[in-house]
Amino acid sequence: MTAGNESPNDKPNGEEQEAAGQVPADSGATDPQPAASEGAPQAEGGADGDALAQAEQILNSADVPPQPSAAGSPEAAELRNDLLRLQAEYVNYRKRVERDRDVAREMAVIGVMNSVMPVLDDIDAARQHGDLVEGPFASIANKLENTLKSYGLARIDEVGVEFDPNIHEALIQQQSADVQFDTVTQILRAGYKANDRVLRAAQVIVSVPEQ
C-alpha cells in the first residue's frame, strides 16, 4: 500500500476522535464565554453609570423636601419630653426627701429640748439661789447649756425690751411713769427658742405707761 493511496478505513472516525478528545471544527460546539476579570469596568463606567449619574443630578436639582431624621421625629421628641419630665420629677422628689429629712431632724431636736426644759428650769433656780456658783455640778450645768446652744437653743430672758406677745407671756402688768411703751421689767421664767422658732414664751412682768 502506497502513501498516496490511503483507504477510508485508515482515517479516524468521529467516535475515535471523541475518544481521543478531539472535536471537529464543524461540530457546532461553542466555546464558553470568558469570565469577567477583576479589573473590568463596572456598570457606572458604561451606559448604566451615565444613567445613574443623570438620575442623581435630577434628584438633587429637584425641589424635594428633606426627610425628617430619626432625631427630629415626633417619637424622638416625645421620648425626650418624657425623659425631661421624669428628670424633673426625680429632682423634685430628692428635694422633697431632703426637706422632709431636715424637718424630721429638727422635730427630733425640738422634742429633746422640750424634754430637758424642766431640767433647765431647775438649773436656773439653783443658780439664783447660789447653788451653782462653782463645783462639779456647775460645770455639768454649763456643759449641758452649751451643748443645747450648739443645736440652736437660745434663751428668752432679756429685760428692758419692748413687750412682744410672740415671745412673752405677761403674768403681771403694772403702770409706770418711767416707760414710754410696754416694757419687760422682770423675767419670772425664761423662755426658749430654737432656730427662730419659739419653743416656750417667757413669763414676764410688764410695765405700761401711765394713762
Residue scoring higher pLDDT (26 or 96)? 96
Confidence at residue 73, expressed as pLDDT on a 0 to 100 scale: 81
The reported pTM is 0.54
Say yes or no to pLDDT of 18 above 60: no
Say yes or no to pLDDT of 50 above 80: no
Choices 1.10.101.10, 3.40.50.920, 3.40.630.40, 2.30.22.10: CATH for 154-211: 2.30.22.10
Q: Which residue has the cell 414710754?
A: 180
Which pLDDT band, with edges at 50, 70 and 90, does 190 fall under?
A: very high
Say yes or no to pLDDT of 59 above 90: no
Spell out the domain ranges in the chain. 73-151, 154-211
Confidence at residue 207, expressed as pLDDT on a 0 to 100 scale: 94
Confidence at residue 16, expressed as pLDDT on a 0 to 100 scale: 45
Mean of pLDDT values over 64-72: 50
Q: What confidence tens digit (pLDDT) does each residue in 71-95 have?
A: 568 888 888 888 888 988 999 999 9
Mean of pLDDT values over 122-147: 88
Alpha-helical regions (H) of the chain:
14-19, 47-61, 74-128, 136-150
Range of lowest pLDDT (25-39, 45-59, 173-187):
25-39
d(CA 178, CA 181): 9
Confidence at residue 53, expressed as pLDDT on a 0 to 100 scale: 55
Q: What confidence tens digit (pLDDT) does each residue in 196-205 have?
A: 899 999 999 9
d(CA 115, CA 101): 21
Contact 140, 116 (CB under 8 A): no
